[in-house]
Amino acid sequence: MDTLTLRILIIVTGILVMAAMVAWSWYKKYSNGENSLSSLDPGLSLHPEYDDYEIIPVNKTAAEHTNRSDGSDQTEMPELIQLHLAAPEHSWFQGPDLVSAFERLGLTYTELKIYQRQTPDGQIDFSLACMINPGTFPDNQNDIATFECPGLTLFMQPREIDDPAAIFEDMIAILDLLAIDLGGTKWDHSRQPLTLETLQDLRQRLY
């Protein structure tokens, strides 16, 4: 065996020995549980009972999360309530029909280019817009003659008005009258068929 080959053999042997020592060291470390959770400092344990914040369940808003830490069961008044009237299947509401229905129900066309139910002193009870963006209605007779809308959205802000429970009942009455006058299907906020259960839930949150 020549000198060069011997040197290479010594180097390779040294590398193998070092690798074996490192591997053995890691094996002893993990087999003895040095990296397990049981070896953590107890002072690092989590104590959520001392937290000042509250975890809200997935798919619930803060307003819907009513099981408070103090044991109360209060439901917060919603910031916004919106309901819809979808046009009959395979058809759209026509502009002239909409304007006639809105005027019969005492709704006012405003600078926002939507219709609103206003109090004598100009306060807004609730509003009515087109279901699709931008939600507005034309402001002249020529455009309204050709205007079409797939559905209507009625909405109110309970926290911004006096007696929201009574105003809600008025908005429901308008929705019902529009459904009779124009036809179509009443939807809830998620555009699913409006049910008595949904209405009752909303009423409970307003009283």
Q: Which domains does the chain have, with CATH numbers?
A: 81-206 (3.30.1400.10)
Token pair, residue 134, equals: 């931008």
d(CA 74, CA 54): 15
Residue that is written with structure tokens 């509250």 in the block: 54
What is the rounded average pLDDT for all residues in the chain? Answer: 77
- What per-residue confidence (pLDDT) applies to 151? 97
pLDDT tens by residue, 44-66: 333 333 333 233 333 344 444 44
Specify whether the CB–CB gap between 97 and 139 falls below 8 A.
Answer: no
Cα–Cα distances (Å) from 187 to 11, 39, 60, 98, 131, in that order, read 80, 57, 21, 18, 11
Residue 129 has pLDDT above 90, yes or no: yes
d(CA 13, CA 18): 9
Longest distance between any two alpha carbons in the chain, whole Å: 111
How many whole angstroms from its chain centre is CA 101?
31
Nearest to 55 by CA among 42, 44, 69, 43: 69
Residues ≥6 apart with Cβ < 8 Å to 141: none
Residue 69 has pLDDT above 60, yes or no: no
Who wins on pLDDT, 17 or 98?
98
Specify whether the CB–CB gap between 132 and 148 falls below 8 A.
Answer: no
E-strand ranges in 38-179 read 81-86, 93-94, 108-109, 115-118, 124-130, 148-149, 151-156
Specify whether the CB–CB gap between 162 and 156 falls below 8 A.
Answer: no
- What per-residue confidence (pLDDT) applies to 207? 82
